[in-house]
Amino acid sequence: MSQLWGGRFAESTDAFVQEFTTSIGFDQRLARYDIQGSVAHARMLAKIGVITDQDRDDIERGLALIASEIEAGSFAWSVALEDVHMNIEARLTELVGDAGKRLHTGRSRNDQVATDIRLYLRDAIAVCTAELERLLRGIATLAGAHTDVVMPGFTHLQTAQPVSFGHHLLAWFEMLMRDAERLDDCAKRVNVMPLGAAALAGTSYPIDRAYTAELLGFDRPAANSLDAVSDRDFAIEFCASAALCMMHLSRIAEELVNWASTQWQFVDLPDRFCTGSSIMPQKKNPDVPELVRGKSGRVYGALMSLLTLMKSQPLAYNKDNQEDKEPLFDTIDTLLGSLRAFADMIPNIQPRADVMREAASKGFATATDLADYLVRKGVAFRDAHEIVGSAVGYAVSQGVDLADLELATLQGFGAMIEADVFDILTLDGALASRDHYGATAPNQVAMAAKTALERVERRCAR
């Protein structure tokens, strides 16, 4: 009987059941954190006198050796040993003898695995956050360099009003900054230590959980042992934050795909982020944004998996929870890869100012400005809206833009219109007039881009 828990069993596990119940194929990823948790646990056991200092030193020496075997790829993972925890413990006993058998005193795999995942996720959040900050910095810098590039702003994907390209980029910045803040918040609830909950009820040894928590850098030990071993809400919360972030990345991706198309040509994507077609020689496909857009699906799927996994579990630990790992790991990999791709690519997109300006000059983007002009001449806004609507209708019928109409023609719609109307019908005039906090005037966008960069730098300096 090779199982560490084999004592009460009269026959060996069915071969298929062994395959079916093992998690070693995917929980190996936790090895580093499993070792980190075991070192802290052993130090705590020695501190309270449950194991000797000699045992502790043997355990630490053995675990260090195991870490280097895993690092070197020479560690022999065994399906029969079920999971990462028992693989490491069995090897430890092989290496250091009885001290290895004492490591699991006052501990269960239930608090062990919950601790490992939290340690793992804490690091993963830090790595994702660093990539997100790199992306935020890139976006804010690009925005600051293009405050007075005019593009059409859209509602319903119809030309609405001219906006600064930098202003559009800073909308992305705000979306992603909220995602960074959500990850910060999630990290607070991740950083609580289950260790000491043991199987479900705590342990009869006089353990010092505050000491273990301190060794592992947790903010505090979890307050309830049943809750500590069973809930995976912290992983669900991370996946929810990741899903929101992927949703934002997907919206950005969609815009980049549109902008880079032959029909729009608002931006050029660097060749190194695109691929060609095996049949159509002219193609330059925006694969990176398309993939990011597509990958949002699997992250939403992982969130659904985890919510469903959790929802019917009675207290406390159930083997269902072994299924938490693959969706969580896939979410981390997908989010990290998507953030990295965008952090590399987005600072290098080349806006085509002339094309965007040309596009903004079509579609009556300054019609609202004409209505506001009439209001300043004493017309009530609703009447002004009506007058401009008629003028636009006429221009459409003539196939021209508002600014192309003669003054006399415009005056036919509103007698109060004067020659100065042509100043406000320009794109730059329309842009410059929206000159308040949060709006698109280039001087406001310049200030906003500067503030945005400062916000990133302040985060990074924490």
List interacting residues with ligand ARG (CB under 6 A): 23, 27, 83, 109-110, 113, 317, 319, 321-322
DSSP secondary structure of 397-429:
HHT--GGGS-HHHHHHH-TT--TTHHHHTSHHH
Active-site residue, from 74, 156, 278, 397: 156
**Which is nearer to ligand ARG, 105 or 141 (by Cβ)?**
105
**Which is nearer to ligand ARG, 5 or 381 (by Cβ)?**
5
Residue 390 falls in the annotated catalytic set: no
At 219, list the tokens.
């903010």
Write down the least CB distance from residue 317 to ligand ARG, Å. 6
**Which is nearer to ligand ARG, 34 or 237 (by Cβ)?**
34
The Cα–Cα gap between 446 and 170 comes to 10
Write down the least CB distance from residue 65 to ligand ARG, Å. 23
Write down the least CB distance from residue 8 to ligand ARG, Å. 14
The Cα–Cα gap between 338 and 402 comes to 43
Cα dihedral sign, 4-7-8-9? positive
At 153, is the secondary structure helix, strand, or coil?
strand
The Cα–Cα gap between 318 and 310 comes to 10
Active-site residue, from 2, 68, 277, 390: 277
Tell me, what amino acid is at 47?
A: K
Write down the least CB distance from residue 103 to ligand ARG, Å. 16
**Which is nearer to ligand ARG, 23 or 338 (by Cβ)?**
23
Name which of 292, 260, 254 is nearest 157 in CA terms: 254
- Distance from chain centroid for Cα 434: 32
The Cα–Cα gap between 24 and 389 comes to 68
Write down the least CB distance from residue 110 to ligand ARG, Å. 5
**Which is nearer to ligand ARG, 23 or 36 (by Cβ)?**
23
Q: How far is CA 282 from CA 277, 278, 415, in A?
A: 8, 10, 53
Residue 277 falls in the annotated catalytic set: yes
Which residues are the active-site residues?
156, 277
